[in-house]
Chains A and B, each alone.
Chain A
Amino acid sequence: MSKKPLLEFTDRGIYCPIGRFYIDPWLPVDNAVITHAHSDHARIGHKRYLAHQYSEQVLRYRLGEIQLQTVAYGETVMKNGVQISLHPAGHVIGSAQIRVCYKDEVWVVSGDYKVEDDGISTPFEPVRCHHFISECTFGMPVYKWKPQAETFAEINSWWRHNVENNLATVIVGYSLGKAQRILQNLDLSIGKVYTHGVIENTNDALRRNGITLNPTHRITADVPKEDIRKGIVIAPPSAVGSPWMRRFNPYDFGYCSGWMSIRGAKRRRAADRGFVLSDHADWDDLISAIDATGCEKVYLTHGYTASFARYLNEIGFDAHEVHTLYGGDELTEADEEAPAPTQPPPGGEALLSDGESKVLPTGEDLGGATI
């Protein structure tokens, strides 16, 4: 007699039939457990949300009035006899892997994750499990990150060089995660940090959550251009090429993303500088993270799922591709600048995605097999 799996892949998202809850569902459900507050994972319209406590204010800012229960890392919540606990994923502040346990069977849903300690998100911790549901946004061997200290040394020296040459410096990264990671790793002896409104709103939400961030200055019409030129501007991807950005002229703009490790992707962005900085695990880290779970089976939800599954199978894992809607749905024309809705907006327009996914469609093989 074959028993029903503890977690299933349904057209609404990852579902636990015994516990009667979903993890990061993309259609409205009664009970949603949320790995992190990025819009392709935390969507509007669910009745009840469960998320990490550091995600609370950002979720409320992004999703408006929601019924939200929060927990700390490692704390267990029971739902219909199923144990749920959240464990650090290291992706952004408050991001979690979801561990689901029932009668000694353990499943873990990674959400998005990175292994390197970024200095602001609680560092990734491997969780032992039987079944691991993993992302693989950068699941190709050409993606290998250098330590962030090296990248930030480049960023700081670029900023210093711009200040010396009387150029404004604009650094671009998505508003939740990348923006704070940049903020906390800038060399503030060079100058002040100015922020785009969308980023400052996220910063404010995080500060309300008790998280300490370096000082920032929201850019308004009153801030003199000369002051901005001595500092650095953190802007979201949606600001690139906008009139808002053009007013800093002359400026140099740098783009921070894992995609920047490929010359073609960088040239497509037409950024002055592309800094390789990702909140996702690289090739080596994906493999070591999966290995560290000791899992019997691994399911790959988004990224280069087909190639990565094939490679994992060749080196001895039991890997499967799964079709999900994570990783940025390009067709929804996601835009981070959409204001926090208080009413569910029409026709899925608010299915915001994290900015990194917008650089390139990550959904290689979205048509992959569903299990």
Chain B
Amino acid sequence: MKAFAQLFLSLDETNKTNEKVRILKDYFLSVPDTDKMHMLALFTGRRPKRPINATLVRTWAMEMAHIPVWLFEESYHVVGDLAETITLLLPKSTASSNKTLTEWIAEINGIATQAEEERKQWLLSSWGMLDTQERFVFNKLLTGGFRIGVSQNLVVKALADISGLDQATITHRIMGNWSPEDYQFADLMAAEGLSDDISRPYPFFLAYPIQETSEKQKTSGELQIALGDAAEWQAEWKWDGIRAQLINREGKIFIWSRGEDLATDKFPELHPFLETLPNGTVLDGEILSFKDNRPMPFNVLQTRIGRKNLSKKILEESPVALIAYDCLEYNGEDIRHKTQSERRLMLEQLRTATPFPDIFRISALINFETWDELAEIRGQSRSMIAEGIMLKRKSATYQVGRRRGDWWKWKIDPLSVDAVMIYAQKGHGRRADLYTDYTFGVWHGDKLVPFAKAYSGLTDEEIRKVDNFVKRNTLEKFGPVRTVKPELVFEIGFEGINYSSRHKSGVALRFPRILRWRTDKPMEEADTLETLKALL
């Protein structure tokens, strides 16, 4: 654990990419193989199951630190991270421990089944033998959210440097359904990859935006310069659902969401078509709710995500289908190196053969001759229930991760209203102890009705100013939330708006964020609920 804690500390101590890769390599070269795999699991979001729920961890930490509940809560709002709060509050440790990361994780997994009193004794004695930095990573293991200032790309780069394998291969090998207990470091590093995991998905190819903000609209001339001839590109609608990879290998089916979650059971409607695909097929596409041959807005799909049990009612109200974008594996062969156009043909062949054309749909190609024409078509996105347009170079291979060059997304401009900030709450992580999470209201008669929360969109400098305003203009406090004197006006952008019975305002927004601070607008000139509802 000392080496792992030091790794964490060292990574925190530099902002330089090369330095981070060097630190990761040093770690890989100095710890036992089992520790390497555990580290890799943690850095790719594969955390051990929580052995003790967060409430008990908090309670026992408060006991050990002799701190009342309210002070613990306020400390947490100052620090913005539970594991770190506990670390800072606990008294200095009195012993030390040389257990490895592997040994600690085995203990964590083992303690989960013990009685509460034993878990408590184990936790208190564990805290007692770990130094500050070790405690921090230990608490992270226990409480979840293992986010660190290192992208998976850097970890992959370090492994690629060590093994001599290319980064795409490593990225592929650490995807899917593996656990550090049964995946060997030697297998990960082997020259010839083992293809024993039939569920393993490919890394997704992701696009960057071609147009950064709605204020800077791309002209057709700019597109011509950036992308070249329109004839070299295929265009599709950018659908707003759940990006997924669907696999049929050896008669077994798997559905992976982009967050690398195995979601096969969440979409039973897709199973029949998936089962009829030829052995050795992998599709990339978007899962959406469909009714009467039309995609439904994302919030309809949202009602069934996260449900443990899919009731008959939900399946009827929000039936899903797939809009396929791409084919990555055909007849058991990885075809990612083929061109977009070649893969498209294979995808179309699969589609033609399916007995389930309403479920296995295909993303239609948009006919266009010039960039001007496409810009005009883009204006119809909202009526298509699409988020905009995807551009794919006809000669593009299917690449790994977010890459510039061959795939671009060209989203429609967000909808927007001017709203007044009415509540504020402190943020987390690097926004700890700053008021960064705001609730906004629009006018309904002479009252401001809350309709959206937004966390992003301001610069650090603006955040400092708003934070200062909040501290000086607090009307009431409800736990961590402060009611703020209504005064500051912001332009709030969002991708979509729908009726909602769960919200006071009667509407729910998709991806609300702050577009800019309207220091030029008095709050009386903010928009009304009627204006907002007119966008429905």
Return the CB mask of B1-21 against A: 1 if under 8 Å, else 0. Answer: 000000000001111100000
| Alpha-carbon distance A361/B78, docked complex (angstroms) | 12
| Alpha-carbon distance A314/B71, docked complex (angstroms) | 11
Are B467 and A361 in touch, CB under 8 angstroms? yes
Are A272 and B471 in touch, CB under 8 angstroms? no
Are A267 and B429 in touch, CB under 8 angstroms? yes
Range class of the A interface residue count: 20 to 34
| Alpha-carbon distance A273/B65, docked complex (angstroms) | 28
CB-CB under 8 A from A364, the residues of chain B are 471
CB-CB under 8 A from A212, the residues of chain B are none
Most A C-beta atoms less than 10 A away, residue of B16, B74, B149, B472: B74
Are A142 and B430 in touch, CB under 8 angstroms? no
A276, chain B: closest CB distance, angstroms: 11
Are B78 and A142 in touch, CB under 8 angstroms? yes
CB-CB under 8 A from A365, the residues of chain B are 471
Given contacts A140-B74, A263-B432, 18 further A-B contacts (CB under 8 A): A140-B78, A141-B89, A142-B75, A142-B89, A262-B80, A262-B88, A263-B84, A264-B429, A264-B432, A265-B432, A272-B14, A307-B74, A330-B465, A330-B468, A361-B464, A363-B468, A363-B472, A364-B471
Are A262 and B471 in touch, CB under 8 angstroms? no
Return the CB mask of A266-295 against B: 1 if under 8 Å, else 0. Answer: 111010110000000000000000000000
B431 at interface, CB cutoff 8 A = yes
A366 at interface, CB cutoff 8 A = yes
B20, chain A: closest CB distance, angstroms: 12
State which of A142, A304, A361, A363 has its C-beta within 8 Å of the C-beta of B88.
A142
Are A267 and B84 in touch, CB under 8 angstroms? no
| Alpha-carbon distance A179/B65, docked complex (angstroms) | 34
User: Please, which residue of chain A has its CB at the minimum distance from the CB of B474?
Assistant: A367
| Alpha-carbon distance A266/B429, docked complex (angstroms) | 10
CB-CB under 8 A from B478, the residues of chain A are none
State which of A272, A307, A314, A360 has its C-beta within 8 Å of the C-beta of B433.
A360
Contacts A262-B84, A363-B471 given; does A140 touch B14 at CB 8 Å: no
Are A142 and B464 in touch, CB under 8 angstroms? no
A149 at interface, CB cutoff 8 A = no
Most B C-beta atoms less than 10 A away, residue of A142, A273, A364: A142
14 A-B residue pairs with CB within 8 Å:
A142-B75, A262-B84, A262-B88, A262-B433, A263-B79, A264-B430, A268-B460, A304-B74, A304-B78, A361-B464, A363-B468, A364-B471, A367-B472, A367-B474
State which of A144, A264, A307 has its C-beta within 8 Å of the C-beta of B71.
A307
A102 at interface, CB cutoff 8 A = no
| Alpha-carbon distance A254/B84, docked complex (angstroms) | 21
| Alpha-carbon distance A304/B75, docked complex (angstroms) | 11
CB-CB under 8 A from B84, the residues of chain A are 262-263
Are B474 and A314 in touch, CB under 8 angstroms? no
Residues of B in contact (CB 8 Å), total 37
A369 at interface, CB cutoff 8 A = no
CB-CB under 8 A from B431, the residues of chain A are 264, 268
User: Please, which residue of chain B has its CB at the minimum distance from the CB of A271?
Assistant: B15
State which of A143, A262, A331 has its C-beta within 8 Å of the C-beta of B432.
A262
User: Please, which residue of chain A has its CB at the minimum distance from the CB of B80?
Assistant: A264
| Alpha-carbon distance A365/B15, docked complex (angstroms) | 33
CB-CB under 8 A from A367, the residues of chain B are 471-474
B68 at interface, CB cutoff 8 A = yes
Most B C-beta atoms less than 10 A away, residue of A263, A267, A270, A360: A263
Chain A positions within 8 Å of B, measured between CB atoms, are: 140-144, 261-268, 270, 272-273, 304, 307, 310-311, 314, 330-331, 360-361, 363-367
Are A272 and B474 in touch, CB under 8 angstroms? no
CB-CB under 8 A from B387, the residues of chain A are none
CB-CB under 8 A from A270, the residues of chain B are 15
CB-CB under 8 A from A366, the residues of chain B are 471-472
Contacts A142-B79, A264-B80, A330-B464 given; does A272 touch B67 at CB 8 Å: no
| Alpha-carbon distance A264/B464, docked complex (angstroms) | 14
CB-CB under 8 A from A142, the residues of chain B are 75, 78-79, 85, 88-89
State which of A264, A267, A304, A361 has its C-beta within 8 Å of the C-beta of B79.
A264
Most A C-beta atoms less than 10 A away, residue of B71, B433, B465: B433
A255, chain B: closest CB distance, angstroms: 12
| Alpha-carbon distance A364/B471, docked complex (angstroms) | 6
| Alpha-carbon distance A304/B15, docked complex (angstroms) | 31
Are A267 and B149 in touch, CB under 8 angstroms? yes
User: Please, which residue of chain A has its CB at the minimum distance from the CB of B86?
Assistant: A142
Count: A-B pairs, CB below 8 Å: 86
Most A C-beta atoms less than 10 A away, residue of B13, B68, B78: B78
| Alpha-carbon distance A229/B152, docked complex (angstroms) | 34
A252, chain B: closest CB distance, angstroms: 8
| Alpha-carbon distance A367/B85, docked complex (angstroms) | 26
User: Please, which residue of chain B has its CB at the minimum distance from the CB of A365?
Assistant: B471
Return the CB mask of B51-80 against A: 1 if under 8 Å, else 0. Answer: 000000000000001011011001100111
B434 at interface, CB cutoff 8 A = yes
Most A C-beta atoms less than 10 A away, residue of B13, B14, B429: B13
Which B residues between 139 and 194 are near A, CB-CB below 8 angstroms?
149
User: Please, which residue of chain B has its CB at the minimum distance from the CB of A358?
Assistant: B464
Are A272 and B68 in touch, CB under 8 angstroms? no
Most A C-beta atoms less than 10 A away, residue of B65, B70, B85, B472: B472
B530, chain A: closest CB distance, angstroms: 34
Most B C-beta atoms less than 10 A away, residue of A140, A264, A267, A330: A264
Most A C-beta atoms less than 10 A away, residue of B85, B464, B471: B471
B428 at interface, CB cutoff 8 A = yes
Are A141 and B75 in touch, CB under 8 angstroms? yes
A306, chain B: closest CB distance, angstroms: 9
CB-CB under 8 A from A141, the residues of chain B are 65, 67, 71, 75, 88-89
Contacts A142-B89, A262-B84, A264-B429 given; does A360 touch B472 at CB 8 Å: no
CB-CB under 8 A from B65, the residues of chain A are 141
CB-CB under 8 A from A268, the residues of chain B are 430-431, 460
B311, chain A: closest CB distance, angstroms: 41
| Alpha-carbon distance A311/B68, docked complex (angstroms) | 9
| Alpha-carbon distance A262/B430, docked complex (angstroms) | 9
B81 at interface, CB cutoff 8 A = yes
| Alpha-carbon distance A266/B473, docked complex (angstroms) | 27
Return the CB mask of B331-357 against A: 1 if under 8 Å, else 0. Answer: 000000000000000000000000000
Which B residues between 463 and 521 are near A, CB-CB below 8 angstroms?
464-465, 467-468, 471-474
A292, chain B: closest CB distance, angstroms: 21
CB-CB under 8 A from B67, the residues of chain A are 141
B318, chain A: closest CB distance, angstroms: 38
Contacts A268-B431, A361-B468 given; does A263 touch B75 at CB 8 Å: no
A170, chain B: closest CB distance, angstroms: 14
A259, chain B: closest CB distance, angstroms: 9
Q: Which 10 A-B pairs have the closest CB atoms?
A: A264-B432, A142-B88, A267-B430, A330-B468, A264-B430, A268-B430, A142-B75, A264-B80, A307-B74, A366-B471
| Alpha-carbon distance A263/B147, docked complex (angstroms) | 13
CB-CB under 8 A from A304, the residues of chain B are 74, 78
Are A310 and B75 in touch, CB under 8 angstroms? no
| Alpha-carbon distance A258/B312, docked complex (angstroms) | 57
Are B474 and A360 in touch, CB under 8 angstroms? no
CB-CB under 8 A from B16, the residues of chain A are 272
CB-CB under 8 A from A330, the residues of chain B are 464-465, 468
